[in-house]
Amino acid sequence: MNREIWTAVDDYFDGALVPPDAALDAALAASEEAGLPRIAVPPNQGKVLWFLARLQGARRILEVGTLGGYSTIWLARALPEDGRLITLEADSGHAAVARGNIEHAGLAKVVDVRLGPALETLPEIAAEGLGPFDMVFIDADKSAGADYFAWAVELSRPGTLIVVDNVVRRGEVVAPGNDDPDVLGVRRLADAVAADPRATGVALQTVGRKGHDGFLMALVEDA
């Protein structure tokens, strides 16, 4: 098995189960034109986020890491009419592209894009009393994953679902002696989830057009 086969399988199921979408396609095109890194979640995983938000019955969602707003659009579409999504982005250029994509998707009244390092904007959100959130999606720098998780729990309620992307890192998470900051960050995240009595977690490996990776999910049981 290799990435060529994994990509072909993704293409097959995307063609069968994830129909073309003008707003999402435009978001990817605008992000590429603006030179954003091509690291957005793939279509099938975007729909997984939509499924999880719908299954949660989410009314308030927090996203850490906006990029061009592709995953933001998937998540925001899962919300009811009076739902709200706050997404945090540290890069002003990325935030500008995301705002345009979100507006083009007709979701500007649902989504609040906040600019600034997440470890600065998360305390502001807490101070404003904007939680608790029903779902938190973390897709930002992995070195700070444990810190993001700690804030996610603080901004949660019993039953909140926290999803963290890109935790397997092509299997490097178990490579002996690997001192890459992102790998070390994922390990700290796993340790933090395991040690937090308020939540229980699980991680799953994935393969596909983006290679070998995976995600971690934590369910908050006592916020």
- pLDDT tens digit string along 85-125? 999 999 999 999 999 999 999 999 999 999 999 999 999 99
- pLDDT tens digit string along 4-52? 999 999 999 999 999 999 999 999 999 999 999 999 999 999 999 999 9
Mean pLDDT of 142-164: 98
Question: Under DSSP, is residue 156 helix (H, G, I), strand (E, B) or coil?
Answer: strand
Count Cβ atoms below 10 Å from residue 132 Cβ, excluding itself.
Answer: 17
- pLDDT tens digit string along 49-75? 999 999 999 999 999 999 999 999 999
pLDDT classification of 184: cutoffs 50, 70, 90: very high
Please name the helix (run of DSSP H) or strand (run of DSSP E) that holds residue 213, with its range, or none. strand 211-220
- What residues contact residue 9 under an 8 Å CB cut-off, 6+ apart? 208
What are the residue ranges spanned by the domains of the chain? 3-220
Count Cβ atoms below 10 Å from residue 34 Cβ, excluding itself.
Answer: 15
pTM of the predicted protein model: 0.96
Name the burial class of residue 8, with classes exposed (0-12), middle (13-18) and buried (19+) by CB atoms within 10 angstroms of its CB.
Answer: exposed
pLDDT classification of 139: cutoffs 50, 70, 90: very high
pLDDT of res. 222: 86
pLDDT of res. 211: 93
Give me the CATH topology for the region 3-220: Rossmann fold (3.40.50)
pLDDT of res. 223: 73
- What residues contact residue 75 under an 8 Å CB cut-off, 6+ apart? 49, 50, 53, 61, 63, 85, 135, 137
Q: What is the residue-averaged pLDDT of the chain?
A: 97
Name the burial class of residue 204, with classes exposed (0-12), middle (13-18) and buried (19+) by CB atoms within 10 angstroms of its CB.
Answer: exposed
- pLDDT at residue 1 greater than cutoff 90: no
